[in-house]
A and B are shown apart, each in its own frame.
Chain A
Amino acid sequence: MAYQRESLILELEQRARDLRLDSLDLIHRRGAGHPGGALSAAEIMAALFFHKLRLDPARPDWPERDRFILSKGHASAILYAALARRGFFPAEDLKRWGALDCHLQGHPDRLKTPGVDMTSGILGHGIAIGAGLALAARLNKLNYHVYVLLGDGECEGGIVWEGMMTAAKYCLSNLTAIVDFNDVQLDGPVHEIMPLEPLADKWRAFNWTVLEINGHNLRQVLEALDTASEVHGRPTVIIAHTTKGKGVSFMEDQAYWHGIPPNDAQYAQAVDELRRAA
């Protein structure tokens, strides 16, 4: 397939690095935000926003656009970075994230920020809302696809599983969930706070098609997204094994960096590490 060209992979790897740098810049500048879960989702976000999603930044309300719900809304920094780089709003706006008169809220707000399909920030809503959006596509005879990115800790909440049952009941093949499975949440390792494994078996038991990948391998991410578009009669989940804080040595796998901004020295080191990896 075309995207398997090395050039596309290389381009998206560069996009992922840009999104990581942007996210840290945003969080450092504001002195607030959630770096760990933004960095872990960089390849997934790059693949979606710079390849997979059918979007038109000039028409954020285009009825036939693909829908994206950042169910793990606290990773807003990387969504804002992706939307700005896709041209939904000027990159200048990012510098004012969190200012009282800035459209960029702490968590995504569909009414204030162009390109945000659904307000989020409280965990658990994405699958059920995505199921509703997927049902609406069917009723309206539109063929958009709905993507929901959720966190692993988020799967501890019951409404995720209620939404999973609903999506399976209605055979919503136009719904794809992606779990950013970095195994770290605010208070510590997910496997200690509330073990999720065997997570893939659980989704399978709920009648979803399950794909398991390395969420930092863009070839695997792209292949999984394409496979998900081909599945008929049932929704698909991509369980993406990732590293929280990916790309910044002192942030990797550390719960401390779930929701803490880096100080100036830490930020400088993080940028240095990310640039050198390029």
Chain B
Amino acid sequence: MAELSLREGYGRALAKYGEVNPNVVVLDADTSASTLSCYFAERFPDRFFNIGIAEPCMVDVAVGLALGGKIPFVNAFAALLALRAMEQIRTCVCYARTNVKLASHYAGLSDFKDGPTHNSISDIALMRALPDMTVVVPADGAEAAAWVPIVAEFDGPVYLRLSRAGALPAYTPGTPLTLGKGLTLREGRDVTIVATGSMVGRTLAAADKLAAEGIRARVLEIHTIKPLDRDLVLKAAEETGAIVTAEEHSVIGGLGGAVAEALAASRPTAVERVGVADTFARTAYDPESLMDAFGLAVDDVVAAAKRVIARR
């Protein structure tokens, strides 16, 4: 895992992008050394605002900056940004449609050291239920970096969900990224595994294992949970007849929920959801073993693929 962690990729890219877009301003809630928004702060101290441990206030200040024509990136731990600042995000960002970018760090189980208070396994469900919100989940550090200019140049609220940890490499730098358009990372006709975030790399590993057993799994990366690339998902359902979803999030309401809703509406298909069961996780020594312990192991994806094929 010599790859850049998601936060490293994001933090470096944000500081770099600050050079080309003087309208970008950055806010943090006393976590800049963790979110790595500190790289931007060092280079552009006049465009960086540390609001202290007050996530709702930080979002509202960003709303004001956006009203004044700036492009604010707010940075905080996902558990706090998505929960404490939820009302600000709903009312003042989404409803008022202000051009605020919500960089949400330490998402999923990646804050393995602090445990469930700082895990964030419900944020995708919450954010995607908000009208006018766009939800993006990069798969690795290189992809996190590639999203920064795209998110900044999109006119409207974006929730950019980032992990603290590294991830198995998934993104090939230079691959064009488009909001709302998923990527087909691997072709296959026996089953489709739709993955997002840190589970993309794990899903590619699972597809290798399945291939060794003669099962050809298609792998889709859905980086934009909302708006969902329904066409890509429906086509996969039609061609493979069995869908697995994989995400570092609760099995309720996240990617699995979004995919199941799309399929139920247009093409009912057997779905198995890989995610954190409806439970709080625990503290661990490292993120990988924590993910393995809470249903996100490569073998969990393999087993889900076999189950859904049997149900087809």
Task: List residues of chain A with CB under 8 Å of any chain B CB.
Answer: 63, 67, 109-111, 117-119, 121-122, 125, 128-137, 139-140, 159, 162-163, 165-166, 170
Give CA–CA (A125, B91) in the complex, Å.
10
Task: List residues of chain B with CB under 8 Å of any chain A CB.
Answer: 25, 46-47, 49, 51-52, 54, 56-57, 60-70, 72, 87-88, 91-92, 95-97
Please determine whether B92 and A119 come into contact, CB atoms closer than 8 angstroms: yes
Give CA–CA (A170, B218) in the complex, Å.
53
B-side contacts of A121, CB under 8 Å: 91
Please determine whether B60 and A129 come into contact, CB atoms closer than 8 angstroms: yes
Please determine whether B96 and A110 come into contact, CB atoms closer than 8 angstroms: yes
A61 to chain B, nearest CB (A): 10
Residue of A nearest to B64 (CB): A132
Known contacts A139-B47, A159-B57, A166-B57; is A133 also within 8 Å of B96 by CB? no
Give CA–CA (A125, B56) in the complex, Å.
9
- Residue of B57, B63, B96 most packed against chain A (CB within 10 A): B57
Additional pairs, 8, CB under 8 Å, beyond known A119-B92, A135-B65: A111-B97, A122-B91, A125-B88, A131-B61, A132-B61, A139-B25, A140-B68, A140-B70
B-side contacts of A130, CB under 8 Å: 64
Give CA–CA (A260, B52) in the complex, Å.
40
Known contacts A119-B92, A122-B91, A166-B51; is A159 also within 8 Å of B64 by CB? no
Please determine whether B67 and A136 come into contact, CB atoms closer than 8 angstroms: yes
Residue of A nearest to B95 (CB): A119
Known contacts A119-B95, A125-B91, A132-B60; is A63 also within 8 Å of B67 by CB? no
B38 to chain A, nearest CB (A): 18
Give CA–CA (A136, B91) in the complex, Å.
20
A-side contacts of B61, CB under 8 Å: 128-129, 131-132, 135, 163, 166
* Interface of A, helix, strand, loop or mixed by DSSP: helix
Please determine whether A129 and B25 come into contact, CB atoms closer than 8 angstroms: no
B225 to chain A, nearest CB (A): 25
Please determine whether A129 and B68 come into contact, CB atoms closer than 8 angstroms: no
Please determine whether B92 and A133 come into contact, CB atoms closer than 8 angstroms: no
Please determine whether B51 and A133 come into contact, CB atoms closer than 8 angstroms: no
A190 to chain B, nearest CB (A): 22
B-side contacts of A131, CB under 8 Å: 60-61, 64
A-side contacts of B49, CB under 8 Å: 135, 170
Please determine whether B65 and A136 come into contact, CB atoms closer than 8 angstroms: yes
Residue of A nearest to B90 (CB): A122
B-side contacts of A118, CB under 8 Å: 63, 67, 92, 96
Give 24 A-B contacts (CB < 8 Å), ordered by A residue.
A111-B96, A111-B97, A118-B67, A119-B95, A122-B91, A125-B92, A128-B56, A128-B64, A132-B60, A132-B61, A132-B63, A132-B66, A133-B64, A136-B65, A136-B70, A139-B46, A140-B68, A159-B57, A162-B51, A162-B54, A165-B52, A166-B52, A166-B54, A166-B57
Please determine whether B70 and A139 come into contact, CB atoms closer than 8 angstroms: yes
**10 nearest A-B residue pairs (beta carbon):** A132-B64, A136-B68, A128-B60, A162-B57, A119-B96, A133-B64, A132-B61, A129-B64, A162-B54, A132-B65
Please determine whether B69 and A140 come into contact, CB atoms closer than 8 angstroms: yes
A-side contacts of B87, CB under 8 Å: 122
A-side contacts of B67, CB under 8 Å: 67, 117-118, 129, 132-133, 136
Give CA–CA (A170, B56) in the complex, Å.
18
Residue of B nearest to A117 (CB): B67
Give CA–CA (A137, B95) in the complex, Å.
23
Please determine whether B60 and A125 come into contact, CB atoms closer than 8 angstroms: yes
Residue of B nearest to A111 (CB): B97
Residue of A nearest to B52 (CB): A165
A-side contacts of B72, CB under 8 Å: 132
B-side contacts of A170, CB under 8 Å: 49
B-side contacts of A162, CB under 8 Å: 51-52, 54, 56-57
Please determine whether A129 and B92 come into contact, CB atoms closer than 8 angstroms: yes
Residue of A nearest to B53 (CB): A162
B102 to chain A, nearest CB (A): 15
Residue of B nearest to A142 (CB): B68
A132: which of B46, B52, B68 is its contact (CB, 8 Å)? B68
Residue of B nearest to A63 (CB): B69
B-side contacts of A109, CB under 8 Å: 95-96
Please determine whether A139 and B60 come into contact, CB atoms closer than 8 angstroms: no
B-side contacts of A125, CB under 8 Å: 60, 63, 88, 91-92
B-side contacts of A159, CB under 8 Å: 54, 56-57, 60, 88
B-side contacts of A139, CB under 8 Å: 25, 46-47, 65, 68, 70
A50 to chain B, nearest CB (A): 24
Residue of B nearest to A130 (CB): B64
Give CA–CA (A170, B72) in the complex, Å.
17
Give CA–CA (A130, B46) in the complex, Å.
18
B-side contacts of A129, CB under 8 Å: 60-61, 63-64, 67, 92
Known contacts A125-B91, A165-B52; is A133 also within 8 Å of B68 by CB? yes
